[in-house]
Amino acid sequence: MENQLYYGDNLRVLREYIKDESVDLIYLDPPFNSKADYNVLFREPTGEPSQAQIVAFEDTWHWTEETERAYQKIMETAPPQVVNMMKAFREFLERNDMLAYLTMMCIRLLELKRVLKPTGSIYLHCNPTASHYLKVLMDAVFDHKNFRNEIVWCYRGGGVPKKDFARKHDIILRYTKSNNYYFNVDAVRIPYSEESQQRLRYKARAFREKRVYESYEPNPLGKHPEDWWVMQPIMPSDKERLGYPTQKPEALLERIILASSREGDVVLDPFCGCGTTIAVAHRLNRKWIGIDITHLAINLIKWRLKTTFNLSAGKDYKVIGEPVDLSGARELASQDRFQFQWWALSLVDARPYADKKRGADKGIDGVVYFYADKDKLGKAIVQVKSGKVSVKDVRELLSVVEREKAQMGIFITLEKPTKQMLEEASKAGFYSCNITGRQFPKLQVITIEELLSGKRPDVPYQISPYKQAPREDIISTRQNSLL
């Protein structure tokens, strides 16, 4: 199987692309119905916070016509125990936000069960906001007999409430599809502490249920892990941090993947975010499938795979759902102009500017940074247009470039530019870059069709919009130092 990255709603992707019983391990970290917005945090090349605080997803669910259709689909097609459970939820919760969330999760869990192999496992990551409901739902979908663990991930840090105990744990629900499942505890054993090693030197009697052991020999590979895991979350200064909300530490995914899959097995993450599951699965020689509904996430994953493993989309793995031609670009623009804009910006490695959904954009859709001199950065203002364009748009971009004291402007258009637009852009003249000794067109008009054909804006040494993930050789060196 070829590694696959999908842009789109995971329900549609699962139904249309993922075969029955084709996946060995599923990890999902879905939104928790926390009624919060989660931002992708970009930083300027100087390290300062960027204005590009884009909402990756709004973790708020409401009962809509789409939710009602999903609920009716469950009533018509789900197994009786799932139907009865959802009816009970509806009677207890009525049509509120939590029922909308559980309906969204239920219809997807049914698809995830379908694609999971009989020997496979699923790990559902959630926090206490909805974990109690999700556990009952998982009992109904996967059968309570296949419940294996409620893993408690404990951590420290952050603020504390004044009138409550500090909330410092997440829940990971582990289920299997059958009683015949793969689990390799030796791959995740924990080294004994120095205190334990001292204590285990004395081979005293050991008691396990009704059996008595005259002496206890510790396993040379280490201790069998409990169902509570103490691991720190990713701190703001950690090298792993890529700026994506809800990013989980690689150590957490490493334990899950090592315990419940073999090399060559297929690992699926239907809410893959910044791609931690994918990156760890690839490093551990597993095949992988990632799905996300935003181009921000897909672009970040592609960048992470490139900088960590030197993998290229199309060559080393498939990307499905992104436009590959002009008709696909038009379809995306008609469906969601924000997703189209983020996708178009990714074609020129521009960082999005501010959040269009939250307020005025000041005529700036994205920014490309580059090295202008030894100790000076330059920038190009990027505008993206998916509709009709005219010479007025070029003049407006030039005024924004001058207002922002930028060196260059890049105008990306889905429609073919007019002759007057190209003439107006050429009148802007050139930007002279000291570090290269070259002149660059100050205002450049480039079409989506040209970008899809491989053309790129002519700019000096460009700076990536994303924080670079640690390379595979650096990760290996770091891990070996811990052995």
What is the tens place of the pLDDT at every residue in 421-459?
999 999 999 999 988 889 999 999 999 999 999 999 999
Mean pLDDT over the full length of the chain: 86
pLDDT of residue 281: 98
What local confidence, expressed as pLDDT, does residue 54 receive? 46
User: Is it the case that residue 413 has pLDDT exceeding 70?
Assistant: yes
Q: Where in the chain is the domain with CATH 3.40.1350.10?
A: 326-463
Confidence check: pLDDT of 308 > 60: yes
The three-class DSSP label of residue 361 is coil
On the question of pLDDT at 112 being above 80, the answer is yes
Q: List every span in the chain annotated with CATH 3.40.50.150.
A: 4-182+227-320
Cβ pair 216, 192 in contact under 8 A: no
Q: Which CATH number fits domain 4-182+227-320: 2.60.40.1180, 3.40.50.150, 3.20.20.70, 2.30.30.140?
A: 3.40.50.150
- Where is pLDDT greater, at 51 or 416? 416
Give tens-digit pLDDT for 180-210. Answer: 999 999 999 998 877 776 666 655 556 666 6
Calpha distance 122→115 (Å, rounded): 11
For residue 416, give the amino acid letter: K
The Cα–Cα gap between 331 and 326 comes to 9
Q: Please give the residue that has the higher pLDDT: either 246 or 171.
A: 171
Of 196-200, 352-356, 418-422, give the range with the top mean pLDDT: 418-422
Cβ-Cβ contacts under 8 Å for 141 (sequence gap 6 or more): 82, 106, 109, 110, 113
State the architecture of 326-463 in CATH terms. 3-Layer(aba) Sandwich (3.40)
**The predicted structure's pLDDT at residue 237:** 64
Name every residue whose Cβ is closer than 8 Å to that of residue 315 and which is 6 or more positions away in sequence: none
**Residue 177, both tokens:** 């599809």
The predicted model gives 100-120 an average pLDDT of 96
Distance CA 121, CA 249 (A): 20
Q: Which amino acid is at 189?
A: R
What's the Rg (C-alpha) of the chain? 26
Whether residue 340 contacts residue 368, with contact meaning beta carbons closer than 8 Å, is answered with: no
Percent of the chain with pLDDT strictly greater than 90: 61
Q: Please say whether the beta carbons of 149 and 227 come within 8 A.
A: yes
pLDDT reading at 269 higher than 80:
yes
pLDDT of 33: 57
Per-residue pLDDT tens over the stretch 203-244: 555 666 666 665 567 788 888 999 999 998 877 666 776 666
Q: What is the DSSP letter of 187?
A: G
If one compares 161 and 47, the residue with the highest pLDDT of the two is 161
Whether the pLDDT of residue 82 is over 60: the answer is yes
